[in-house]
Structure formats: structure tokens, C-alpha cells
Structure 1
Amino acid sequence: MVISVNTLVSNILPSQTVLLFGAGASLPSGAPSVGKLINDLDALLTEDTTGFSFAEVCSLVELKKSRKELVRQVRNSFRGLKPTGGIQSIADYDWVSIFTTNYDDLVERGFSKKNKQIRIYSTNFDFGDPCPPNSTPIFKIHGTIGLDVSDGHRSRMILTEEDNDLVEDYREALYDRMKNDLNANDVVIIGQSLSDPDLDALVKRAIRLNRKSGSAKKIFLLLYTEDHNRALLMERKGIQVAFGGIDEFFFELAKQSEQLVEVIDSSDDPVSERPILRAITLDIKHQFDLGNADFGKMFAGGAASYCDLRAGFCFQRTQKDRIVGRLKSTEQFSMILGSSGVGKTTLARQVACDLVESGYLGWEHNPDREFFAREWLGVAAQLQHDGKDGILVLDNAHLYIQDINLLVNQMSDEGYVRLRLILASARNHWKPRVKSPNLFKLGSVVDLSSLDSSEIGSLLALVEKVPEISRLVDRSFRGFTLQERRRRLVDRCNKDFFVCMKNIFANDSFDTIILQEFSSINPDYQSVYKAVCALESFGVRVHRQLVIRLLQISAQDVSLVLGNLEGLVDEYPINSRESIYGWSGRHPVISEIISKHKFNAQEEIYGLLKQVIKNISPSYDVEIRTLRQLCGFDGGLSKLADQGEQNELLRMMISVAPKERVPRHRLINNLIRCGNFSDAETEIRVFENDLRADGPVKRYKVRLLLERAVSTVGLMIEDKAAMLNDAYSASSSILSGDKFHRQNLQLHADVCLELYRVSGDYGFVDEVLDAMKYAEREVGDPDITRAIQRFERRVSPPSTTNAEMDVEIIEELE
């Protein structure tokens, strides 16, 4: 039976509700009906179009007049609109997302009037920009009134029949997002009448998506036009129908919200005053008392939590006191680098704990979310003003190094020295990326690898003293004296932290232990576990929705899967508002072992990567980051030896998210290194047309000139010299823009080396060495020192092959 608007409102919670707007949401504010739009367009045609649909009339206008005339007339019909009535209250609530078929910008203006953040999507080129955690995503299914291809924009208003075909990829991405949102949230569809074809199509789409997702969430339909017969048909399909308009809907919402009392945060913590940061930042002091210590999770390979540290479950690393002392006195930044399993994250947290206990304010950024440099600059400014000190831990710092560079440079320019940063990263991910010179001027690098004698002693003492740990020690290890335990750890484990831990608690080969454990898993769930491990080993942040789509798991079976993989796969929140929950194995080393043994054939790796890319939903930030991570230096694509297969997958990525620069960079780089110069030139030109040339693409243009000169057979010396001179002019110009940029230096060195080989003029070598040594003195980046040493080796002897240059080309990924 039909329900009242009051009942509808009482059954929803805005923070767990998706809104879908049809034309009925805009009509009270004066938006034209479809009939009015057709009449206005008839005036352009001066002929009768009775019986034609809106799309057909638009197609006729475009054919007989022009696209510009068509768009101009439609915009005239919407001129002068202002949000009135209930739609003005839309920004008062924290909706999960808003989908609308309307061209107008009434919803956007409602949010703007209340100074609330939104993220608007009207084309697939909008996927990829960072979305603040407190912003509301608005998906324009039919485009938006202010943007159209007739004005030179990539977004297009969906007016003609052809328009629907041209935006199919974008629409499918929206419907995929809608399915995910409907899986975890209720939905309210607000429209005029089910006789409206757009609204009818939207309702049918919502029903299909709801069924496909297997969700038990409810769909509500709010109709202004009473039609009890159609309502009865909708109810048979599981939709609850109410009669009323958008004004009544928001009036009832306001009545039920009157009892809510706003909570004022009186904390003097500068992060608590910033809504964007609150949602993605851990307060270290608060974490001390949150939950219980869990050595079992650490034993399984996880980093120590702040509770674990307070409980004494960790031994002291020698470097800790040195880092703390430097951050308190002479340094602002500390970079902790090492391979997986060496204890980088735990050491970073130990340092932060010491600083917090000495009076610092402390935070840790959630590495699964975007890093907002401008927000943290505001925190640094407030700390400086208040005379307080703060420490920020950034784990997996390589994932957002550009934003870190921005923050570090601006803090240096403004003289904000009260905010310290601890950056932890795997060395292989950190090294190729460009870092701000200020990181080295105001900080230092800590290389974490093997355990020293003091650390081994602390580890063994910890095993003896802490009951939760000592009872897990393997029997074969218990019988030895302290001296014998120490000797075996040194001899058998080469002092590696992660392997040391495993040899204390088990005496078998590490790989064998992991594979035996895998074989004991229920066969029905082995495929899930090995997929999660493989994706993690590819550098991907795995999450629930991606696994559901990839392995065709029903939403109802998720809890069953996690239950059967308890202790092996952990679920944690990434973005609770969007129902994004991460899935992680116990440790990257373990994931790498499973992946190596269960996906050891190239065709298996290629098949998995292809399926992942096909199932990407680009409307989610976490899935855009998945594309970037797959392109990473040690990411999934690097597991494929065949660059042709890599390129095919990169083209798929570009089709999914055309605004993403990283897959385009990687494709151009591959084409140049394979000698496909004409294809590389085409990709560079398309990149410049779509996104404008950035630093990497400018360098690739030079690299293309250089490789053509070096690799093309049959060139005369003067022709090769002319091409190299063009490359030299371009690389010199790039280097003059940033003399300390390591990749600019590397590129200029490669060009000058080839000019030296062609001309014999040693002046080119001197020029490069002078530039590199100047940057080395000013910046202090040890990677520049290594670049100098490599360059000197390549100059002498002169017979060094170009293969070495290829190996040293740094992939220009973001």
C-alpha cells in the first residue's frame, strides 16, 4: 500500500541514503517540463514535430541548424532558475550520493549557498580528481547545463539520440557506481510522474541494480502525481511508493531533525577543527586508549598498533632514539626506508609515541585516502601561531609524494617548523620518485634493514619477559640458551627482522609454512585468498567491492567468506560513508609468497590483471588509485614480461579513466623503449590535446628525439647530430626550469652523453657533471650522488652500450 511522506522519512537516515532525482525535483523551482522544451525547440524548426520524442526533436535541430543553436535554445529555456522550496534544504543533510537526470544546477547551487563541498561528475574525464571525504558526490546522468562539447568542453548535454551512444562508457560507470551505492544504502527516487520516460527508465534501472547487488536495502519512490494503479505495480516489484513533492519531503525531514543537537568540539587540536582531516586522520594519543593490544595480529605479520606499543609488545630499535633526538632539535623530517617486513611502520610509530608522550600533538594519515597538503599547511600554520609542536606519521609515503612535496615546500617558504613529518616507505617505491630538496635540507634518510646486536638482544629479552609472546615460541627454539638463540638468529636469518620473528616461532622453511597453511583452507575460499594476495603483491589496495565484482561473490556471502578466512584476510574501513572496506592479507611478504606460487605463469597474471581493469569502477577514488598502483614501479604491470600485453592493459586503463595521467605516461614510455616512435608521438599528441603537456610528457618528447637519433639505422652523422641538437635544446630548457629535479638532470645527462659520443666534445660531459654536482651540493639527495657515479661510469669507457642507458631511464610515473 501507498505510504505517507512522513513514514518514508522516518524509515531513512540521510547518511545512509542515495537520492535519485527526476524532473519532478526541479519543477517547483521553475524548471521547464519536457513538453515546454519541445515547444521552445519547435520555434527554431518552424514546423510541426507532434509525435516526436525530445531526443528526436533535438536531433532534428542539430541536423537542420547546429549543435550550438540547439544548446543555446535549451539553455535559454533554463535561464533565471533559482533553487526554491525544499531543494534549498538539500545541503543540510549528509547524503551518500546524489544522481540526477536534470540538466539544471539547482542541486549544486543549494550546496554552494550553504558553503558545503560537492564533487560533480558529468563526464568520464571527471573521474580521478581527489574527492574530499566530507564532500557529496553529484552524478549528472544527462550532463549539465553549463558544459557542452559545442563550447569546447569534454562534457556533453545528453540531448540527441547520438549523444546517448557517445557517452555509453560514462553512463555505464555511473550505473556501476549506483549499483554499489544501492548495495549498502536505501534509495529515494524523487520525480514527477511515472509517465515521464526518463523517470520510468531510472526506476527500472534502480530495480535491476538492486536485484543484481542482492541487497536487502529499500527503494522508495516519491511521486507528485497520484497514480494508484502504477503505484500498485511498483509495490509488486518491491518499491515503496509515497505521493508528494520535494517540498513535503524536506519539510518532514526538517521536522524529524529538530531534536538533533549539534555537538561542539572544544578541543584545541587543530586537526579536530578541520572536517576534511578528521575523517582520514588518526589521533595518536586517542589511539593509546582505543581497544586492546593484539599480539596475535602482530605475530601474523601486521605492524604494531599504538596499543601494542603501549602494552610493551615491541622491542626497541637502535635508530629510534636518534630519530627522536633529531626531530626535537635539528630536523623537521625523517624518512624511514626499507624492504617489506623490516619494521618501518612500527619504528615510525615508536618515534611518534615518544614525541607524543613528551608533549607533542600526534597524528597518522590513513594511507588509503587522499592526502590534502593545503589542509595540513593550515595545521602547520596554527601550530606555529599557538607555539605547539606536532608530529605526523605518513606510512607508504610514496603513494602521495607530490602532495608531500607541496606541503614541505610551502612549510619551508612560510617558516612553519612546528609540524614534523615521519615518512615511511619501501625503498624500491621511494627511490624512483622525485622528492622536494627541502626534505633533504631539513631532514635525513634512515635505512632500515638487518637487526644489529643490540636489537637482537632486545628481541630475545622481549620473548622471555612478555607472557603473550613467550608461549608462542616454537619448542625447537626454547631449549637453547640465550647465547645459542642469538647465534642461530644471526646465522640462520641474516638478522632480517621478519625472518627472525618467524624463526623464533617456527622452525620450518617460511615458504613451506605459508603454503601448508594455504592448503588447509577450505577449497571454496582458496580462490578469494590467492586473489587478495596476488593483488596486494601487485601493489593494489584491495577492497570488498572490487573482490565482489572480480570473483562474482554475492553481497550476502561476504561475511561467510571473511569468516572462513579469519586470521588470513582482515577487513578494515577505508570510507564508511561510501561503504568501501579494505581487505588485506597478513603481511606483504606472505602475499608475495602466495602470489608467486599460485600465479606463476604469465598468462595467469595477465588474465587476472585484465579482469581487474575490466571491473574497475572509476567513480570511486580508491579504484582510480588502483589503476595508478598497477602502473607502479613494482606494480602488477611490471610482472608481465611482454610489453605488448602491458600496452593492451594500459589502453584499457586509459579508456576507463581518460583523465588519469599515469597509465598514459607508462604507455608512452613503453612505446618509446620498444621503438614504436610513431605510436609514441601519437600518444603524446593525444595527451597534449586532452590534458595539456605536463613535466613527464615534456621529458618524453625529448626522450623520443633522443631514442630516434640513437636507434634509427642508416642516419648520416649530420642528421643524427641535428636531432640530438634539438633534444639538447629541449632538455636544456627543461633543466633551466628546475635545476634540482633528478629526472631533468638524468634526461640532460643522456642527451649530452650521446652528443659527446657523436661529436667527441668533452664539454658536454663537463656541463652535465657541473649541473649534477651543483644540485648535489644544494640538495643533498643521495640519489643524485649515485646518478653522478653512474654517469661517470658510462662516459668511461666510451664503448658503453645504449642498453645501460635504457636500464637507467627512470619511469616518469606519479
Structure 2
Amino acid sequence: MDTGLLNKLADIIAMRKCVLFAGSGLTAESGGALWSQLVEHLETEFRYSSPLQDNFEKLEDMDLKYGPKSVYQKIQLRLKGATLVDPIKKLSSLPWFTVFTTNYDTALEDSLGEMQIDFNVRTICTGNEFPVTGLQSEILCVKLMGSVDVEYGQPGAMVVDPGDYTVAKEDRIRIFDILANHAAHLSFLFIGYSFDDLLFLDVLRKLNKVLGKTNNIHYAVFKEEPEPEKKYLLNQYGVKIIVCDLKNFSSQLDEKASERSSVDYKHKKIPVGKEVIRVESRAVGSFLSKYEPVFVDKLQEPVDPFFFFKGYTESLNPFLQKWHFERRDSKKIVDIVTKNKNEQTNIIYVEGSPGSGRTFIILSSVCGLITEHMSLAIRISPQKNNPIPDNVELEEFLQELRRVSAEAFPSFPTNIIFWSETPLENVTIAEVGKLGKKSDVPISLICEDTKIPPEERKKFPECKNFHIDANVTLSGEIKKELQSYLLDVIKQIRSEEISTEKVEEVILSEKQFLPIMYRTIDPSQRSINQIIEDDFTKIENENVKRYIEICSIATFFGRDIPLFLLRKTYNSVTGQDASITDVFDIAKQEGKDFVKVTENVYKESFFSIFHDVVAEHLIHISDNNKLEDILIRIAENIDLKSRLEASFIGNMLIANVVNRPTHKPL
């Protein structure tokens, strides 16, 4: 066995950057069956014979002769007692990011449930069971071919013949979404497969088709060295081969991965003021699989200051370090929240034109409430259909927080804040209001202005509305404070200083916070529009310009474009055959001045422009015919069976046709 490969594999497993992909060889000697063994068993049971050679075709023929339900039940009886045994069982104790299996039997998920100390284990048999966010406390065991525990004809039933497989690929599109997204970011370990396993090869071909050639390294364990032809094929798919007996491999991998693991997966750290409490991931796993409370990580994630001032706001660390201009509006919000005595839910709308600093006001308020006032903050995910917990879910989460904080912080949390950097639908606001009526902890919601007419707001009698206008006249004391701030922050992020006179000139000229920041951090003090035009014009590759324009259209419509839709649209517009790696490389290299990449906990990636002001100007300076072509290509390449892509186009239409702001033309 190649110890170098084994060590690399152990490293990525310890960092929780590896996906286990398990086949029938895992349980073949402990109650399970290889595919060929299962077919032979059925042939014996039914006394079946035919000239057919392909096992899938044999199963289809048995369905026709003996009835699909009868065949299904025979398979259930054969596999019911399958287990994992040591040392193979030790694999189920390692910190996998996710586990995929093509096995019908339940041995792997049973062993994961028994052996995983730090994570809850959830079995997924259909795509509908995936939460949109979560995984901080979970390992998902995804059954690509269904489960022996599911009865015939039910969702998640075993995929037995070619017809079942065709239907399953359609019904479980969400599972294949997740599979492809994982492969774009993580390494895979394939175990329990043979060189000739059609399912194994089908998965590799599918990923290669969706992703193109990537730099990701995957690993596969086989008993024997493959033939040159097979070895070449696997190498083309980025698969490194480890030749070893499965039991010996499992024992060595467990030892090496365990000794490398220094990350505490058992606990999640939640900020309490400037202190921290640790809650057991398993105890709050249900809540974390659906909702996004702020962990210490979000306060500590480092950010390049130039990207922060351009609009990268995924981390709260810059607000903790006071890189931002502390607006009086943030203090107003903090006062509103902290004075809430739980009589009514506070709904705080932050209004303002693009570039006025709405997002910075919201995030600086959230950061201050967490660190100075012991608030519990929960982000409202823009990619979730039901982002607000019900009273029972919230109370269970609070009980665990109180249990671990009772001695040191008996009053935590003093209040709960939900926040969103985007406008919210009426139904979401109403859900927060209902939650506030039932909670014994004061609840507030902070979000961008939704432009809800006054008569519509009367539908929320349980809520008390506040309006913060981010549009301000930069004069008097505010102007002096901003001048002082700019002089100070420029010293921190640039080697050369800027004069007081120049700062005053920029403030008088630009009048909005984002354009002011762009101009003052620019060594030549160009306007934001000039910076955008110069940076865009200097890009020599026309294909990269089309890439940026695709992201600009998505951002202009208030959406981040999913990775695979961006790749399909880009290739369609440019005639290129870009891989997933190429798509990321453009964002990191030639497009880095414009394109922001974010990802959720499922490693699903989204692309956008740093700020909607920048996106709007990019659209303004771009050729209308090219933009129209991009819109058509997006529509042509949308896969409505993909949850991410369907959500993207659906939300874009709702936000910009049904609820279109009056100031924004279609």
C-alpha cells in the first residue's frame, strides 16, 4: 500500500474535507452481498434461468416473470441482517463530510449511528429530505440506490432494475445536485467497488460530465492492481488507486486519521458578549440543521480589508475590529433592541438607496448586540423557504443554551435578533411576529426595507415597526466624524496617507458611503464609476467580460447565481468548454476585482458582484445585445429539476416582476 497516499487521505479526512462513497464490498462478508451474489441468490430462489448475461437485465426479466414486488421482497429478506464488522466498522467513526452509498442494506448507517460521537447521523433516501442549511452537527448518509427498510413502491425504495434507475435519476435530482457540489470542492474515497462496477463508473462519468476536468484528487481502494486500461481510465477521472485488503486499509486509515484530528467537532462555540460558551453539537443538531445562529467563527473569520470595503460582508470580523464607519443609526438600532421589554416584536427596517450603507448598518448593529449586549443572533438564510423556527424549536435550543450558560451567564440571552441583509416577504415578517408573542425572550427583526405599503403593515399588529433611513446629508458633525474615520482607516490599509483636504473633496463630490470608500482607498482617488470602467476595460479576455456580465445580471436582480448554472451559461455564451475548476479560477484571478464567491455548509457555491451598485454600473456600460443574449442563455440552461436553479429563476422573477421596486426597471 502507498503510505504517501494514505497519509494525504488521512489529512483531508481529519480536516473533514472528504466524502465516503461506499459500495457492496463493505458488507459482502457480513450479511450483505455483492451485486453478482445478490442476482445469483435470486436465481436460486426463483429457480430462474435465461440466456441473459447482464445482471440488471436479469433483474428486469425476473420482474416480468415473477412480479416486481416479489423480487423486491426477496432482496429485503436476503439483506436484512447485514452488518459492519471490525476493523471495517472503524471507518464509520471518522469525521466524514458526508457519506454516500449505493448499498441497499442499512449496515453503514447503523454503524455510523453507533460509532459517531460528535455528530448526529441522518439517513437520506430521497432528495426532498435534504435541509438547505445545516451539517455543522450532522453527517448525512445518502442512499443513492434506496434502502432495504423502505417498502416496495414507497419514496426511497430500492432501485432494482433499469426502469427503477431511470425513474430514480429523475426523482432524486436533489441528491445528484449535492453529489456534484461535493465533488466540486471535496475529495472522495471510494471503497467496496470493483473495477467493473457499473454504478461506480456511472457516478464517475456523471461527475466528469457535470464538472469537466478538475484538480480534485479522489481515492479508490482495490484488492489488486488494475489493468493498464482501467488504471488509465481512473486516472483520467482524477482517481488515485490504493491497492490493499479492505480490512487492513480500514485499520491503518482509522489509526492515521484519528491521530491527526485536532478539531473539536463535538461542540459549537457561541459568543456570549466577549466570552464563549460551548454547546454539544448533537444536543442542538436539529436546530442547526435548519437555522443559522452566529457562531464564534463568523466573528473571527479574517477578511482582506480591500474586499471588505468593496462589499464582502460574509464575516463579522471587520465590524468587531471597527473597520467600518460607526453610524449613529447602528446605535439607534441597538437602543431599540435592548429597550424591548417583550411587549411587542420589534421590526426594524433599514431603508436607503444603493450605496448608502444599509448592509453595514445592519451588520454593525448585529455585531454590537452580540458582543456588547449578550444577544443571540440568528441569520435569515436567503436560500431557505422556511427560515424562521417555530416556538417549540426555539425553546428547545434555548434550553440547551441556558443549561450550559446558567452558572457563568444566567441572563443569556438578553434578547434574540433575527436579521437579513435583503428585503423579506410578508410571510417571513409575520412568522417572526408570531414567534415573538410566544417567546419569553424579547425578539427583534432587522432587515432591509421591504417597501411594504403602510396599509400592509397593519397586518402585523403584534409587531412594532421602526424605520432607519440610511440616506443622510453628509454635513456638520457627521461630515467631521466621517473625515476623521477616513483619515484613520486609510493609514491602516494603505502605506501612503491621504490629506484632509482630499477627503473633504471626495465627501462633497460623492455624497454616498460606498462611492466615498471606493474613491478614498484608491491610490489615484478615482470615482467608483471610473474605477469600475477602468478595471473592466483593462480585462483583455472577452470571455472573462461575459463571465462578469453574467454575475452582474444575477446581482442586479438581487440573486447569486449557482455554480453549475454559471458554468452552463458561460459555456453557452462563449462557446468554451470550461470546467468547474476554470469557473473558480476566473473568479479568483481575472475576475477577482468584481466577483464574490460564497458557499453554504453543503459546499454549494454561489457567484455575484461585490455590490449591487457595481453590478448596475457594469450593466450600464455593457452592450445591450450581449446582455440580452446572456439572459436568453440563462433561461435556456436552467434545469428546473435542480432545486438551486429553480429557486434562482423563481426568486428572480418574484423579486423583480411580482415585487419589483419602483425605482428599478426590468
**1:360 maps to what in 2?**
374
Residue type matched to 1:213 in 2?
Answer: G
| Secondary structure class of the residue paired with 2:100 | strand
Q: Which amino acid aligns with 2:113?
A: S
Q: 1:45 to 1:19 in 2, by over 3 A?
A: same
Is 1:425 paired with 2:425?
Answer: no
Show the 5 A alignment for 1:746-765.
none
Q: 1:542 to 1:165 in 2, by over 3 A?
A: closer
Structure-2 separation of matches of 1:163 and 1:433: 53
1:809 aligns with: none
Q: Per-residue displacement from partner, 1:286-327 (whole Å, max 9, x unpaired)?
A: 83x764783x44653556975555666555545444332232
Structure 1 residue 30, shift from structure 2 partner: 0.5
CA RMSD of aligned residues (A): 4.8
Q: Which amino acid aligns with 2:634?
A: L
- C-alpha distance in structure 2 between counterparts of 1:90 and 1:631, whole Å: 46
State the match for 1:590 in structure 2. Answer: 614
**Within-5 A mapping of 1:664-743:** none
Aligned with 1:519 (options 501, 520, 537) = 537
2:477 pairs with 1:451: no
**Deviation (angstroms), 1:258:** 4.8
Q: What is the CA distance between 1:526 and its match in structure 2?
A: 1.0
Deviation at 1:107, TM superposition (A): 1.9
Equivalent residue, structure 1, for 2:227:
230
Per-residue deviation, 1:376: 5.0
Matched, 1:343 2:357: yes
Alignment of 1:106-505 (within 5 A): 106-114=107-115, 116-126=119-129, 131-147=134-150, 150-151=152-153, 153-169=154-170, 177-191=178-192, 193-194=194-195, 197=196, 199-203=197-201, 205-206=203-204, 209=207, 213-223=212-222, 226-228=223-225, 230=227, 233-234=230-231, 237-238=234-235, 239-259=239-259, 260=261, 263=264, 269=271, 272-273=278-279, 275=281, 277=288, 281-283=293-295, 287=299, 291=302, 294=305, 296-297=306-307, 299-301=309-311, 308-309=318-319, 314-330=324-340, 333-339=346-352, 340-356=354-370, 358-361=372-375, 363=377, 365=379, 367=381, 371=387, 373=389, 377-381=395-399, 386-388=410-412, 389-390=414-415, 392=417, 394-396=419-421, 398=423, 409-410=434-435, 412-417=437-442, 420-428=443-451, 441=462, 443-451=464-472, 457-464=477-484, 466-467=486-487, 478=501
Letter in 2 for 1:539: G
Q: Give the Cα–Cα distance (whole angstroms) in 1 for the partners of residues 18 and 537 of structure 2.
A: 42
Does 1:536 find its partner at 2:555? yes
The residue correspondences of 1:788-807 to structure 2 (distance < 5 A) are none
Partners of 2:219 and 2:506 lie apart in 1 by 66
Instruction: Say if 1:334 and 1:426 are closer, same or farther in 2 by CA, change over 3 A.
Output: closer
Letter in 2 for 1:458: I
Are the structure 2 counterparts of residues 416 and 188 from structure 1 closer, same or farther at C-alpha, using a change threshold of 3 Å? same
Partners of 1:433 and 1:98 in 2: CA distance: 50
1:421 and 1:584 map into 2 onto residues whose CA distance is 29
Q: Residue 450 of structure 1 aligns to which amino acid in structure 2?
A: N
Alignment of 1:76 with 2:77, yes or no, is yes
What is the CA deviation profile of residues 224-278 of structure 1, one whole-angstrom value per residue up to 9, with x for unaligned ones? Answer: xx54463784267435444445433332233224535675869785774153559
Q: Which residue of 1 aligns with 2:575?
A: none
SS at match of 2:165: helix
- How far, CA to CA, are the matches of 2:453 and 2:29 in structure 1? 58
Distance apart, 1:145 and its partner CA = 2.1
Whole-angstrom distance in 2 between the partners of 1:77 and 1:433? 64
Equivalence for 2:594: 568
- C-alpha distance in 2 between matches for 1:470 and 1:269: 30
Change (3 A) 1:261 1:632: same
* Residue 8 (structure 2) pairs with residue 38 (structure 1): no
The CA distance in 1 between the partners of 2:106 and 2:605, in whole Å, is 32
Indicate conservation of the 8 Å contact 1:283/1:363, yes or no: no
Using the size of structure 2 for normalisation, the TM-score is 0.74
Distance 1:461 1:237 in 2: 62
Q: Deviations over 1:736-762 (max 9, x none)?
A: xxxxxxxxxxxxxxxxxxxxxxxxxxx
**TM-score by structure 1 length?**
0.62
Identity of matched residues, %: 14
CA separation of 1:204/1:75 partners in 2, compared to 1, >3 Å: closer, same or farther?
closer
Distance 1:304 1:140 in 2: 33
Give the direction of change, closer, same or farther, for the CA distance of 1:584–1:74 in structure 2 (3 Å limit): same
- How far does residue 75 in structure 1 lie from its aligned partner after superposition? 1.4
Which one has more relative contact order, counting CA pairs under 8 Å at least 6 apart?
A: 2
From 606, 630, 636, the equivalent of 2:652 is 630
Residue type at the aligned position of 1:215:
T
Distance across 1 between alignment mates of 2:568 and 2:213:
13
* Runs of at least 5 residues in structure 1 that lack an aligned partner in the other structure: 640-645, 647-814
Question: Deviation per CA, 1:192-245, whole angstroms, max 9, x where unpaired?
Answer: 543xx5x2551465278459632333343323xx54463784267435444445
TM-superposed deviation, 1:511: 5.8
Greater C-alpha radius of gyration = 1
- In structure 2, the partner of 1:797 is none
Distance 1:75 1:255, change over 3 A: same
- Per the alignment, in what secondary structure is the counterpart of residue 188 of structure 2? strand
In 2, Cα distance between the equivalents of 1:305 and 1:121? 31
Q: Does the Cα contact within 8 Å between 1:31 and 1:78 map onto a contact in 2?
A: yes
Q: 1:432 to 1:582 in 2, by over 3 A?
A: farther
Instruction: Tell me the residue number matched to 2:99.
Output: 98
Structure with more helix by fraction: 1
C-alpha displacement at 1:588, in angstroms? 1.2
